[in-house]
Amino acid sequence: MAAKMALAWIRRDLRLSDHAVLSEATASADQTAVLFVFETNILDSLEPDDRRVSFIRKSLVEVDEGLRRAGSRLIVRIGDPLVIVPEVARQLGADTVYAGRDFEPYAIERDADAGCLLSRDGIRFEQPLDHVIQGADELFNQTGEPFRVFTPYSKAWLARYQPEMAAERAVDLTKLVPAEQIEGLSEPWDWVDIGFVENDLWVQPGESGAKRQFRHFLPAIESYATLRDFPALEATSGLSVHLRFGTLSIRECVREAVARLPHSQKWLSELIWREFYSMILGQFPHVVESTFQPAYRELEWPGDPAHFDAWKEGRTGYPIVDAAMRCLNATGWMHNRLRMVVASFLTKDLLLDWRLGEAYFAQKLLDFELASNNGGWQWAASTGVDAQPYFRIFNPLLQSKKFDPDGVFIRRWCPELASLKNEWIHCPSEAPMFNQMDAGCEIGVHYPAPIVRHAEQKERAVALLSRG
């Protein structure tokens, strides 16, 4: 009997351990080859200095190194996966192609087409679940409908959860195709080959970076619930980008969270939020282009387009907003509390369409994930699933005083405000002129005056959104 050959097509699972795709491939076949495709369908829309490509490529270098230590190597190709994957599978003589399930609309369409093309060659296409614990089509309410509110979803998620869902998916690296057997199947994939430039990143990429960050976070998991909202502290997990690109297994995260209950309850809840938004995207794909709430689909946002530029560039005159946006622009990261603050400010204070902010985050965030990004923006705009009620509007001044009380984060990213006393750091425009002069920061000269008045805009937002 001929030896069975499998092709593992990795996408958002850039690691070698606790890996559903590699586990099933190496368990079912005599030999397994590993393929990554730099998809030009996606890359052609990105800027050459996109940080995500740097994270991906650097993580792939580590995957390749791990495969070479096991006597194999990574096959890398650049182009259209619907051409490349069937071609590589034929060249290998693969019986089965394995790839992780994905619930983004583009991925669903791509994978459906890939399955059809592979079947024409008599090649099976298997898609194990890897980047979430419970898939978008596995959890429904008592009437058989998808959940639309987080709390009952979370309760159902926890009630259905079984330890085997998060059990480690072992990989047999002895069953990898020898490197000499796949020589010539890969093409050059240096920076110039993929058309991007290397970026320095605030986070260490790859599985080693993920493991290091996870070890760093675990001792602090008990204080996560009380400290996570303070952006000047390193009190969040810092794992979002690793979960996005699969350099860390979600199963490992859930295993550790469950083992540390009840102290880890808040962090586990955040992991379930991630699964909730993934489910919403899979069940209601229209949210990519439109609002989840039908009442707001024709809503016209009356804000000034010039204010969008001020928001993007961190010059709104609201220090907490400006510091958050400058941090995003400089690093590709933003603290979760600040994501809510700046999203509320754009939609409720500036009265600008949430889709503008969502698209900007998609462009800038290193940990951009369509489901969570869309869900978070629609939550802030009160147009989404289980959204913030339209009449509850973040006050940026109060948020600043509560979560950055000494202005540590503000001073880090708005250095022109650094010499202001705490009394004025959150609202420098209210500082008397002699305080401004003493701090070397004259409002309107060194730092902008507020572009809107929060109290007035809040009334306008309530009136606008109450129509829904």
For the chain, how are helix, strand and coil distributed in percent, rounded to 5? 55, 5, 40
Tell me, yes or no, if 377 is annotated catalytic.
yes
φ, ψ for residue 11, nearest 5 deg: -135, -70
Tell me, yes or no, if 267 is annotated catalytic.
no
Rounded CA-CA distance 36/402 in Å is 45
Tell me, yes or no, if 354 is annotated catalytic.
yes
Tell me, yes or no, if 301 is annotated catalytic.
yes
Tell me, yes or no, if 199 is annotated catalytic.
no
Among 54, 58, 99, smallest CA distance to 207 is for: 58
Per annotation, catalytic residue among 62, 270, 358, 369: 270
Task: Let me know: does 315 contact 307? Beta carbons within 8 Å.
Answer: no
Per annotation, catalytic residue among 333, 377, 413, 424: 377
Q: How far is CA 327 from the centre of its chain?
A: 17
> How many residues are given for the chain?
468
Among 450, 333, 456, 336, smallest CA distance to 393 is for: 456
Per annotation, catalytic residue among 157, 267, 273, 424: 273
Judged by DSSP in three states, 379 sits in: helix
Per annotation, catalytic residue among 256, 301, 395, 416: 301
Sheet holding 74-79, edge to edge: 74-79, 31-39, 5-9, 96-98, 124-126
Alpha-helix runs per DSSP H in 297-447: 305-313, 319-331, 336-344, 354-364, 370-381, 396-403, 408-413, 422-425, 433-439
- Gyration radius of the chain over CA positions: 24
Per annotation, catalytic residue among 9, 157, 354, 424: 354
Q: Specify the long-range contacts of residues 234-241, CB closer than 8 Å, at least 24 apart.
A: 236/335, 236/336, 237/213, 237/267, 238/203, 238/213, 239/210, 239/213, 239/214, 240/367, 240/369, 241/55, 241/203, 241/333, 241/366, 241/367
Residue 351 burial (CB count, 10 A)? 19
Per annotation, catalytic residue among 65, 202, 329, 336: 336
Rounded CA-CA distance 232/229 in Å is 9
Positions marked catalytic: 270, 273, 301, 336, 354, 377
